[in-house]
Amino acid sequence: MNMQAPVTKSPDSKIPASKATNHDAQPVAAKTGLAALWRPALVQAFVKLDPRQLHRAPVMLVVELTAVLTTVLCLIPDPAVPTSVAVQIAIWLWFTVLFANFAEALAEGRGKARADSLKAGSEGLKARIQGANGSYEMVNAATLRKGDVVRVEAGELIPGDGEVIEGIAAVNEAAITGESAPVIRESGGDRSAVTGNTRLVSDWLLVRISANPGESTLDRMIALVEGAKRQKTPNEVALDILLIGLTLIFLLVVVTLQPFAHFAGGNLPLVFLVALLVTLIPTTIGGLLSAIGIAGMDRLVRLNVIAKSGRAVEAAGDVHVLLLDKTGTITFGNRRCAAVYAAPGVTPKELSEGTLLASLADDTAEGKSIVEYLRGQHPMTEPAPSQLTAVPFTAETRLSGVDFEGRVYRKGAVDSLLKFLGRDRSDLPPVLAREIDKIAKTGGTPLLVCGDGKLLGAIHLKDVVKPGIRERFEELRKLGIRTVMVTGDNPLTAAAIAAEAGVDDVLAEATPEKKLERIRQEQNDGRLVAMCGDGANDAPALAQADVGMAMNDGTQAAREAANMVDLDSDPTKLLDVVQIGKELLVTRGALTTFSIANDVAKYFAILPALFAAIYPQLGVLNIMHLASPQSAILSAIVFNALIIVVLIPLALRGVRVQAASAAHLLRRNLLVYGLGGLVVPFVGIKVIDLLLTALHLV
């Protein structure tokens, strides 16, 4: 992966590299908390009773129609049904719809609060657009179109998504990413893309706008978190079809019950049949399905990832293979000092002091890592920078170091430093030669260091695997996901790093063609593939992958090819996206299982109550021994409404996915939500029955 260009810090860019969200997120968190959202969500629950809005949830539309019918039946006296019981049934049916609407409104309210905070920063934004004659004029940012060229000065907001065509500047992307540390954006290369509503903190940029109004990163982010305009994912559509099918089946079942009752010389009150229909259809998952989807998207946005479609999030939950770039994902972006080896006759103290002096003026990440390593090994009194004469690294010499008090300290590539000392490879001490060979074979980079014409020893620079990454790969392995490390290194080096990181496979000496070929190979074998990238050369592979995540600081080509954009430009985020995708799928599955399992208890509660007088043989099913038929039906209806309220927090938070095999996860969910779905209604309905009887409500 391409490294970010170094930046010379200006006074404007001296911003602490801390999360802006440390103070800015507090108001947002307050706005998205339950205390702030429940009142508007309650209002929206009533607004959503409009059938034109409720048609997106067919099951709840059926419940609303039954509530309307029951309300009408309350006005028509029926000797078999006390009016008080009919009224209570009607009230609880309305509560069932309202609770489901409340769950959806609560999820949407969270998103709307986030969306409002995002919108606030872009209102009234102006842009300096370049005219045909090269002059500039101020216009509203909302009028910009794809292809327009704008000039942005230090302190101004970038008016829209685009590509830098001229200039280099530091950009504060805290409005989008929450990170206040400025990043460098420049024309050409893989760090040319800029995001609208971010602020320049130095210099100037000439930006070509790449998105029309309503299509920018910010617009997509707002649309995603608002939820109301969210398109249903294929998985949700399929589940909707299943729920509609079950509703139709139970409708047919309930319709046929009255003829059976007439045949036996009995009669079933219409109110009870309506109540039976509502308790049998999968109202729990039907009421929470939309809230689960919206909450899943909200978790993704909180992760600072923009998905172009819900399909990509669901695919992330089903991926079998992850293609991960080595640099910046599995390892730190720069090589770090791992060890130093002394030449024969050189003391550790002499080696440390000489190596430290040779590295003090080195501003590269590698040089800083050497200084950091040695300070911890052998503390010494360091000279002031003014006492040192720095000798910077050049491509010709391949050396760097300092001149200090008439002595010369240098470090650099093996052959270059030996040439500086007037020696060749054969002059290397055997012990040191073996250490250098060992470093090279394990994928590291050996450097030599000398002081005042004397060879002091060798430095071992290596790709340092990020802490905790091996454990994360182990968790993915338990979930049945294979990890493939993609690197441009030679196979030997790649294998050494792969063994340390704990990945399942390696793609060494990777080219764009090799990446594309590997993805197609995996897909042809029936596997879903996810990968991340940032460069234009990653665009074909990102487009081919089932889940392609582009870095926000990457090229426009990569961002357009991918179906997800990470605003923080953190490649390891792909692992979290997979986790969210799995949680979304598992939550839907778990609550569907729970909802369908609920019906079993309701058979034992309502059917014996309805038919015991007509078919005495059915009395054997009356294992719950509820007080009366009216109490049984009302208890089931009350439970049906209250269980939605109980499950709202779970729907919004999502079911946590543990690192385990698919079979283990299935067994666990069947035990918790399948068996739990069977047991809980028996207990709940019985308790409600006892309360209703004690309060003389039936």
User: Which residues are designated catalytic?
Assistant: 325
Strand partners, 81: 78
- How many angstroms from the chain centroid is the CA of residue 182? 23
Q: How many CB atoms lie within 10 A of CB 581?
A: 24
Q: Is 644 left (phi over 0), alpha (psi -120 to 50) or beta?
A: alpha
Phi/psi for 268 (5° steps) reads: -110, 125
Could you identify the residue written with the tokens 């039906």? 633
**Token pair in block for residue 449:** 């260091």
CB burial readout 23-59, b (16+ within 10 A) else e: eeeeebeebbeeeebeeebeebbeebeeeeebeebbb
Strand partners, 331: 327, 465
As a whole number of angstroms, the distance between CA 314 and CA 291 comes to 15
Q: What are the CA-CA distances from residue 307 to residues 217, 223, 567 (Å)?
A: 10, 11, 11
As a whole number of angstroms, the distance between CA 546 and CA 226 comes to 25
Could you identify the residue written with the tokens 């170094």? 6
Q: Identify whether the C-beta of residue 377 lies closer than 8 Å to the C-beta of residue 356.
A: no
Strand partners, 127: 139
The DSSP letter of residue 233 is P
- How many angstroms from the chain centroid is the CA of residue 4? 24
As a whole number of angstroms, the distance between CA 531 and CA 320 comes to 11
As a whole number of angstroms, the distance between CA 502 and CA 483 comes to 9
- Listed in order, strand segments (DSSP E) in 133-276 are 136-140, 149-153, 162-166, 168-172, 183-186, 193-194, 199-200, 204-209
**Token pair in block for residue 228:** 């109301």
Q: Identify whether the C-beta of residue 340 lies closer than 8 Å to the C-beta of residue 355.
A: yes
